[in-house]
């Protein structure tokens, strides 16, 4: 473990954690079980996993799992890896519905299903719809819903954001692509995560321009739409949403960065 941690230190901000997760995966046990009993023989597969990580492949893709909110999700290179920062969107929704609960939840660009399934886990009476352009990504989301026993309350469809949808939703969640084309990204992201889930034109605003009128149309009175943004996009995305007569409030993540916009109908 010590030598693996040393090898990973130049390419990872969390080399010890990476090594522990990869060794646990090689052993077929949880990280918690490994920490309780670390004196185990290191299997030959561990060396191969370390080599993959040294090539900047994300740990989540190597192990096929990523924790998000209260869930352990299956992830593949067909979907963006859920980030802890995106849990800010769930926190915003919980604060809004503090005295009630949404009946219908929409997750636009659902990817692994992280946001939708986290919301269904918090509100056991809710039903949700996840939309994504990627058929391969939707297969991952459906698999997560089935494995986590949300299949009866979660439906997934292929589409271009909410363009083909009718009706209104109490809660809309969305983490769209918002990186400027040509922007520098760490190799873990640039070389391995799906570009279609990252880049959104020269300003990173292309998908917000599509989403703004759709959100205004699909949001129920008294409902909430929560949209993730880049740390420097607060003003530009707010302007796009206000054109559609949506009231806008920004929420920051735990690091104090602008993370998402809370949108309400006037």
Domain containing residue 121: CATH number: 3.40.50.150
According to DSSP, residue 179 is labeled B
User: What's the pLDDT score for residue 137?
Assistant: 97
Alpha-carbon torsion angle 133, 136, 142, 145, nearest 10:
-100
Is the entire prediction scored with pTM above 0.85? yes
Measured over all CA atoms, what is the biggest interatomic distance in the chain, rounded to whole angstroms? 62
Please tell me the least confidently modeled range out of 29-38, 43-52, 79-88, 207-216: 29-38
User: In 3D, which of 246, 260, 174 has the Cα closest to residue 217?
Assistant: 246
Residues 92 and 179 in one domain: yes
User: What's the pLDDT score for residue 223?
Assistant: 97
Q: What average pLDDT is seen over the chain? A: 96
What separation in angstroms does the CA of 22 have from each of 9, 17, 54, 117, 194? 14, 9, 12, 26, 22
Residues 45 and 100 in one domain: no
For residue 1, pLDDT beyond 80: no
Residues 101 and 219 in one domain: yes
Residues 222 and 101 in one domain: yes
User: In 3D, which of 261, 257, 251 has the Cα closest to residue 215?
Assistant: 261
3-state secondary structure of 117: helix
Number of structural domains, the chain? 2
User: In 3D, which of 113, 24, 117, 109 has the Cα closest to residue 62?
Assistant: 24
User: In 3D, which of 164, 165, 160 has the Cα closest to residue 176?
Assistant: 160
Residue-wise pLDDT for 87-125, tens only, equals 999 999 999 999 899 999 999 999 999 999 999 999 999
Contact criterion met (CB below 8 Å) for 199 and 80: no
| Domain presence at residue 104 | yes
Average confidence (pLDDT) over 131-135: 97
Residues 193 and 260 in one domain: yes
Provide the domain limits for residue 136: 77-265
Average confidence (pLDDT) over 187-215: 97
Residues 51 and 82 in one domain: no
| Domain presence at residue 65 | no
User: What's the pLDDT score for residue 41?
Assistant: 86
Contact criterion met (CB below 8 Å) for 82 and 112: yes
Rounded-to-integer distance, Cα 144 and Cα 115, Å: 12
In this structure, the chain runs to a length of 266
| Domain presence at residue 43 | yes
Contact criterion met (CB below 8 Å) for 252 and 231: no
User: What's the pLDDT score for residue 125?
Assistant: 96
Q: Beta partners for 219?
A: 169
| Domain presence at residue 71 | no
Contact criterion met (CB below 8 Å) for 265 and 225: no
For residue 214, pLDDT beyond 80: yes
Residues 21 and 127 in one domain: no
For residue 158, pLDDT beyond 90: yes
Rounded-to-integer distance, Cα 104 and Cα 97, Å: 12
| Domain presence at residue 68 | no
């Amino acid at each position: 473990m010590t030598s693996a941690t040393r090898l990973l230190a130049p390419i990872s901000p969390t080399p010890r954690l990476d090594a522990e997760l990869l060794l646990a995966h090689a052993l077929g046990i949880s990280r918690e079980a490994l920490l309780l009993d670390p004196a185990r023989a290191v299997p030959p597969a561990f060396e191969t996993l370390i080599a993959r990580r040294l090539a900047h492949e994300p740990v989540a893709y190597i192990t096929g799992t990523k924790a998000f909110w209260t869930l352990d999700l299956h992830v593949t290179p067909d979907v963006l890896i859920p980030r802890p920062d995106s849990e800010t969107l769930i926190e915003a929704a919980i604060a809004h519905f503090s005295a009630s609960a949404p009946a219908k939840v929409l997750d636009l660009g659902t990817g692994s299903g992280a946001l939708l399934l986290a919301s269904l886990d918090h509100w056991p009476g809710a039903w949700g719809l996840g939309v994504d352009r990627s058929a391969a990504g939707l297969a991952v989301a459906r698999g997560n819903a089935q494995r986590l026993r949300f299949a009866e309350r979660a439906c997934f469809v292929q589409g271009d954001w909410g363009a083909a949808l009718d009706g209104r939703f109490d809660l809309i969640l969305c983490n769209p692509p918002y990186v400027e084309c040509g922007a520098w990204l760490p190799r873990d992201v640039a070389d391995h995560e799906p570009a279609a889930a990252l880049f959104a034109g020269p300003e990173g605003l292309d998908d917000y321009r599509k989403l703004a009128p759709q959100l205004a149309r699909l949001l129920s009175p008294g409902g909430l739409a929560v949209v993730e943004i880049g740390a420097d996009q607060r003003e530009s995305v707010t302007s796009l949403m206000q054109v559609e007569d949506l009231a806008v409030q920004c929420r920051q993540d735990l690091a104090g960065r602008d993370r998402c916009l809370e949108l309400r109908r006037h």
